[in-house]
Amino acid sequence: MMQKIQRFGGAMFTPVLLFAFSGLILAISIMLTNPLIVGGIADTSTFWYKFWMVIQNGGWTVFNQMELLFVVGLPIGLAKEANGRAAMESLVIYLTFNYFVSTILGFWGKTFGVNFNVDSTQLQGTGLKMIAGIKTLDTSVLGAIVLSAIVVWLHNRYFNTKLPEWLGVFQGSSFVVILGFVVMLPVALLACWLWPMVQSGIASLQVFMASSGVIGVFIYSFLERVLIPTGLHHFIYIPFMFGPAVTPDGIVKAWLANIQNFSESAKPLKELFPEGGFALFGNDKIWPPIGIAAAFYVTAKPEKRKKVLALLIPAVLTAVMAGITEPFEFTFLFAAPVLFVIHALLCGIMDATMYFFGVVGSMDSGIIDMATKNWIPLFANHWTTYVAQWIIALIFMVIYFFLFRFLILKFNFATPGREADDEETKLHTKADYKNKKAGGQISGANEYTESAAVYLDALGGFDNIQDVTNCATRLRVTVKDETLVQPDAAFKAGGAHGVVRHGKAFQVIVGLSVPQVREEFEKLLKKGIK
């Protein structure tokens, strides 16, 4: 069960990858149409304003169509085969569900306690929403995820069902859509009955979470960080950032939609947008890695410091600039798990401290994202908030350095650069593998192909692979026999940062190139290379 939950959590990240670029575009376009920043050139009659409004409206695409993105994105990550067809099936069945709901509420809305006669342009706060031109219940990304999961189950179970020859036109995707059509009718009825009650519960949850204060921010930030090794952290932040946990459409969309008003107001940001306390975990990706990396460097053996620096610099830059911390954190997670738990606790304390001193916003990624969505557009009226943020961040960066340095030396943790001199023994290297496969078995090999080949071999070969998916930085593989999987050193020979093992479920920590590695991994599987 845990294996399935982890795979599901990783698949949820597939559409989330699109939000970073769109958020950046929106932040830039909003800044460049703000008179407080660019002056009179931002007048609504100028070409400048009109041009950037075109860009801004394009940037809203993924935020305005989040449900459709999750509906299409989950099958890409979870379908065992024919992922593209599964995505199409999911979209069609999701739209069918919404047409069912729309028609049912059109006839019997009062029976379900829903006023369906509201004008389509006045749906805010009514529990209704326009999705792909359909007036329907606002089930948010939660509904999209549940319905997409149903479709993935139907696809994996029935896509290859062989029908009689005279019914052959109805097999494959058509058969899955037919089954989905039948299943969605009772599901739509249940949604009309249950979802208005769920919406009421969500509204109560929003009030509770928004008023939970410093303690709530600490628990949320701690869980978001400490669950990273399991892959379950996606279940923590996605309902807050993109779902209805504290705001109807998620923190990111709510923040961007109001950022100009916030920038023009002199009221404290914490008063304007208290929900933004649950979006401070981007700070955990910028400041702690610098302090931790410094501790690793000074505690490394002198003869290994150059090698450690070469390992840490790209990992830290990836964390600070892009907000992807897993390649960095997994460099020490396996050597000293207790340090990772301390790291998670400190992240929770740092974010809670920032919130206590009035820091809120949309800070879920790296420094570029944080600057464009927070510091630059709001600095004029809220500079004191950001000065407080930077002071707290620098204090914690120093705390990280001294605390990690003390713990590493006190308990002699084998962090990067402190391994035993004879610990460099490897089962095989990438070059060994290439030599082993010489003779044309791997055609058109590139860096991704080579890494994928190493991982395939370390996982026990072609015959031992049951299925493969990925999230932002990890190749997630289910094997048939876990005893055939080689030690972590075999994976590190292919460039992996580490391996998470849970029974037959394995997560190879690849980094940001994991989509390309998975593509090559699946190509090798199809060729039957062991």
How would you write the pLDDT of the chain (530 residues) with one tens digit per residue? 555 665 666 666 677 778 778 888 888 898 888 887 888 898 889 999 999 999 999 988 888 888 898 899 888 878 888 888 999 999 999 999 999 999 999 999 999 988 898 888 888 778 898 998 999 998 888 888 899 999 999 999 999 888 888 888 888 999 999 999 999 999 999 999 998 888 887 777 667 776 788 999 999 999 888 887 776 777 788 888 887 878 888 899 999 999 989 999 999 999 999 999 999 999 999 999 999 999 999 999 898 888 888 878 888 888 898 787 876 777 677 677 889 999 999 999 999 999 999 999 999 888 988 999 999 999 999 999 999 999 999 999 999 999 999 999 999 888 888 876 655 423 333 344 344 444 444 444 567 888 889 999 999 988 899 888 877 678 888 899 999 999 888 888 888 878 888 888 888 988 778 888 888 898 888 877 54
How high is the pLDDT of residue 365? 86
Q: Reduce the DSSP state of residue 14 to 3 states and report it.
A: helix
Contact 499, 491 (CB under 8 A): yes
Number of H-type helices and E-type strands within the chain: 23, 6
What is the secondary structure of 80-127 as a DSSP string? SS-HHHHHHHHHHHHHHHHHHHHHHHHHHTGGGT--TTS-TT--TTTT
Nearest to 329 by CA among 511, 515, 514: 511
Contact 508, 477 (CB under 8 A): yes
How high is the pLDDT of residue 352? 96
In sequence order, the 6+-apart residues with CB closer than 8 A to the CB of 311 are 331, 416
Give the separation between CA 355 and CA 370, rounded to whole angstroms: 16
How high is the pLDDT of residue 5? 60
Give the separation between CA 251 and CA 245, rounded to whole angstroms: 9
Give the separation between CA 11 and CA 299, rounded to whole angstroms: 38
Q: For residue 250, which phi and psi values (nearest 5 degrees)?
A: 95, 155
Contact 501, 482 (CB under 8 A): yes
Nearest to 175 by CA among 275, 93, 263: 93
Instruction: Please name the residue that has the structure tokens 């519960």.
Output: 201
471 labelled catalytic: yes
CA distance to 88, 155, 260, 450, per residue, from 83 (Å): 9, 9, 40, 24
Residue 209 C-alpha from the chain's centroid: 21
Residue 44 C-alpha from the chain's centroid: 36
Residue 435 C-alpha from the chain's centroid: 37
pTM, entire model: 0.70
Question: One of 471, 472, 475, 485 is an active-site residue; which one?
Answer: 471
Give the separation between CA 259 and CA 412, rounded to whole angstroms: 48
**Residue 124 class from Cβ within 10 Å (0-12 exposed, 13-18 middle, 19+ buried)?**
exposed
Q: Which two tokens stand for residue 522?
A: 């699946």
In sequence order, the 6+-apart residues with CB closer than 8 A to the CB of 407 are 336, 338, 339, 342, 413
Q: Reduce the DSSP state of residue 137 to 3 states and report it.
A: strand
